[in-house]
Amino acid sequence: MQNSTNMAPKIVLISGCSSGIGLATAVFLAKDAEKRFKVYATMRNLAKKGQLEEEGKEYLGDTLIIKQMDVCSDESVEKAVKEVLDTEGRIDVLFNNAGIGGVFTVLECTPMALAKELFAVNYFGTLRLIQAVLPGMKARRSGHIINNSSHLGIVGTPFNELYCSSKFAMEGLTESLAPTLLHFNIRCTIIEPGPVATAGFENGAIFAKKFNISVADQKSQELLETFAARIQPLFVSTMQSPYEVAEVVKNIILCEKPHLRYQINDKYNPEEVKQNLLTQQATFWLKWSRKHSSMQNNLTKITISSPEPARFDQR
Ligand X SMILES: NC(=O)c1ccc[n+]([C@@H]2O[C@H](COP(=O)([O-])OP(=O)(O)OC[C@H]3O[C@@H](n4cnc5c(N)ncnc54)[C@H](OP(=O)(O)O)[C@@H]3O)[C@@H](O)[C@H]2O)c1
Residues tagged active-site: 163
Long-range contacts of 74-83 (CB under 8 A, 24+ apart): 74/128, 76/44, 77/128, 77/129, 77/132, 78/132, 80/13, 80/40, 80/42, 81/13, 81/129, 81/132, 81/133
**According to the binding rule CB under 6 A, does residue 22 interact with ligand X?**
yes
| Interaction residues for ligand X, span 122-161 (CB under 6 A) | 125, 148, 150
At residue 212, the 3 state secondary structure works out as: coil
**According to the binding rule CB under 6 A, does residue 198 interact with ligand X?**
yes
The nearest distance, CB 292 to ligand X, in angstroms, is 26
**According to the binding rule CB under 6 A, does residue 282 interact with ligand X?**
no
Task: Give the count of alpha carbons within 13 A of 271, CB side only.
Answer: 1
* The only residue of 115, 127, 199, 205 in contact with ligand X, by rule CB under 6 A: 199
* C-beta closer to ligand X: residue 56 or 200: 200
The nearest distance, CB 197 to ligand X, in angstroms, is 7
DSSP 8-class letter at 60: B
DSSP 8-class letter at 247: H
Stretches 6-14, 30-38, 197-205, 283-291: which one binds ligand X (CB under 6 A)? Answer: 197-205
* The only residue of 9, 56, 193, 270 in contact with ligand X, by rule CB under 6 A: 193
**According to the binding rule CB under 6 A, does residue 188 interact with ligand X?**
no
Beta carbons of 223 and 295 less than 8 angstroms apart: yes
Dist. CA 299–CA 159, nearest whole Å: 12
Partners of 240 in the β-ladder: 196
Beta carbons of 153 and 168 less than 8 angstroms apart: yes
**According to the binding rule CB under 6 A, does residue 56 interact with ligand X?**
no
Partners of 42 in the β-ladder: 67
Binding track over 85-124 against ligand X, x by CB under 6 A: ------------xxxxx-------------------x---
**According to the binding rule CB under 6 A, does residue 71 interact with ligand X?**
yes
**According to the binding rule CB under 6 A, does residue 48 interact with ligand X?**
yes
* The only residue of 51, 142, 157, 203 in contact with ligand X, by rule CB under 6 A: 203
Q: SS3 letters for 85-139? A: HHHHCCCCEEEECCCCCCCCCCHHHCCHHHHHHHHHHHHHHHHHHHHHHHHHHHH
Count of residues that interact with ligand X, criterion CB under 6 A: 30
* The only residue of 11, 18, 174, 216 in contact with ligand X, by rule CB under 6 A: 18
Binding track over 224-243 against ligand X, x by CB under 6 A: --------------------
* The only residue of 12, 21, 39, 181 in contact with ligand X, by rule CB under 6 A: 21
Which H helix or E strand runs over 230? Answer: helix 218-238
Binding site for ligand X (CB under 6 A): 15-16, 18-22, 43-45, 48, 70-72, 97-101, 121, 125, 148, 150, 193, 195-196, 198-200, 203
